[in-house]
Structure 1
Amino acid sequence: MPGYGYAAASKQKIASWTDLMRDFLRGRASLLRVFVLVDGRHGLKPVDAEMMDLLDRSAMSYQIVLTKRDEVKVAELDKRVEETLKAIEKRPAAFPQVIFTSSQSFAGIPDVRAGIARLMAERGF
């Protein structure tokens, strides 16, 4: 769900969105993987953990894609990826690879595309 961590809405409205997402994920055999976009400047936040909990409970494969790579100091890039990998290592539905992307330089975008292409090829699409 785009912007789930940045919604200026009531708790009741956000709860209804959570129900909507849960219903959407239930029984979606054609959905191969969810890509969870996380602001790379800050890393995983509690709201991201809530999303991962929902995906784990739904047995929906997901992969973390860190964004805004160009806004993170070079010395912190590997650290941010390692922190994220550690946070997802025991999550049952998490794909054990993190991609760090930049919309400015397009870094990581070929990796996301390649991952999607691999998934589709594996499933015969």
Structure 2
Amino acid sequence: MSDPEGAAGPGDPPARDLAEAGRLLFARECLFFAGATSVEILPPITRPEIAFAGRSNVGKSSLVNAMTGRKTLARVSHTPGRTQQLNFFDLGGHLNIVDMPGYGYAAVSKTKIAEWGVLIESYLRGRTSLQRVYLLVDARHGFKEVDHAQMTAFDRAAASYQVVLTKGDAVKAADRAARVAETEAALAKHPAAYPQVILTSSETGAGIPEMRESVARLLAERGALALKL
């Protein structure tokens, strides 16, 4: 489903320019360059960052791979809880992409969950380069309690975030608009949430151009991206 933010306002670049800028941005080389298990070893701030968060096995790695047009950039696993640190990727020297540890995986020890919580909260509060968190939610199931808890944490940290529905191909076509609408309605209670939702499928490519355009728009609004890359 297309993101309503694609409609250009009076002073905004045309949506087609943003779509092309997003395509060009994510066509650039993307390389892993750092992993952090504590705030003390976070890489220095050098460029704008976006982060991807979500429940374990929600499809974070698959979405990052789809957006960058690569199959193995971010490790995809059918075993929940495999991402156990903040993984940083450099997208063509323009943007850092951060893959965050999945939450809600019961087999992880309470100690490890607490450590991840401290790491993520510290990252959200102290990382001035962080432009937005894309919070991934399985379109088949909608919000779970752990998602609401994570959104409350984002609200407390005043970290801007946008919900992305994954695995949209597994939802009947007739039900997709309603799923997006009910998700957007739930966001009204969360002050740090961006109001529009993007429905995606890493399998079919649905929503991937809209995701790239969303990032391009975000960076252009902050003066961090020239439309002609």
Please state if 1:76 is matched with 2:175. yes
Q: Structure 1 segments of 4 or more deviating over 2 A?
A: 5-8
1:1-125 correspondence to structure 2 within 5 Å: 1-6=100-105, 8-125=107-224
Deviates more, 1:25-34 or 1:94-103: 25-34
Over the matched positions of the two proteins, sequence identity in percent amounts to: 60
Question: In terms of mean alpha carbon deviation, does 16-25 or 55-64 score higher?
Answer: 16-25
Q: How many pairs does the alignment contain? A: 125
Structure with more helix by fraction: 1
Instruction: Give the letter aligned to residue 68 of structure 1.
Output: K
Supply the distance in 2 between the matched residues of 1:57 and 1:28 (Cα, whole angstroms).
Answer: 15
Retained in 1: the 8 A contact 2:164–2:200? yes
- Structure 1: which amino acid aligns with 2:190? R
1:26, 1:91 → 2: CA distance?
Answer: 17
Q: What are the ranges of 5 or more consecutive residues in structure 2 without an aligned counterpart?
A: 1-99, 225-229
Q: Which runs of 5+ in 1 are unaligned?
A: none
Deviations 1:82-112 (A, max 9, x none): 1111111121100000000001111111111
Q: Distance in 2 between matches of 1:107 and 1:6?
A: 27
- Local SS of the residue matching 1:23: helix
**Does the CA contact (< 8 Å) of 2:101 and 2:116 recur in 1?**
no
In the alignment, the residues of structure 2 paired with residue 79 and residue 18 of structure 1 have an alpha-carbon distance, to the nearest angstrom, of 32
Helix, strand or coil at the partner of 1:33: strand
Amino acid paired to 1:82: A
- Pick the structure with greater CA Rg: 2
Alignment-mate amino acid for residue 150 of structure 2: M
TM-score normalised per structure 2: 0.52
- List per-residue Cα deviations over 1:17-42 (Å, max 9, x = no partner): 11110011112221110000111110
TM-score for both structures, normalised by structure 1 = 0.93
Shift of 1:7: 5.4
Amino acid at match of 1:31: L
